[in-house]
Amino acid sequence: DGGITQSPKYLFRKEGQNVTLSCEQNLNHDAMYWYRQDPGQGLRLIYYSQIVNDFQKGDIAEGYSVSREKKESFPLTVTSAQKNPTAFYLCASRRESNYGYTFGSGTRLTVV
């Protein structure tokens, strides 16, 4: 079955450490997105990529970095510069501009 796989499901990080969240899709979608969701709140866009080797900042890109070396993969690195990284991180992909997003099951990051 096609879909988006995010790993790990839960991640604990010590303050001052960088961590990388994985996002892999086998849907052959061109566009991929990273969103952050805080408890009881909506989704905020961190970064997005519409094509391999290209990506753009979203609304809250500070303290995060991404890469898009392969169509299937769009990893997100949460750096130590991110002041409040504890959140639920969702990766999504989209086939074309007028289609809905397909989301992965998310990664819950906790800073300890």
Partner 1 sequence: GQQVMQIPQYQHVQEGEDFTTYCNSSTTLSNIQWYKQRPGGHPVFLIQLVKSGEVKKQKRLTFQFGEAKKNSSLHITATQTTDVGTYFCAGRVTGGGNKLTFGTGTQLKVEL
Using CB under 8 A, list all residues that contact partner 1: 31, 33, 35, 40-45, 48, 50, 58-59, 90, 94, 97-106
Provide, rounded to whole angstroms, the least separation between the CB of residue 13 and partner 1. Answer: 21
Cβ neighbours, 10 Å, residue 112 = 7
Q: For partner 1, which is the closer residue by CB, 60 or 80?
A: 60
Q: For partner 1, which is the closer residue by CB, 48 or 64?
A: 48
**Greatest CA span in the chain, whole angstroms?**
40
Provide, rounded to whole angstroms, the least separation between the CB of residue 57 and partner 1. Answer: 10
According to DSSP, the residues that pair with 92 across neighbouring strands are 33, 103
Q: Which of 45, 18, 10 is nearest to 31 (CA)?
A: 45
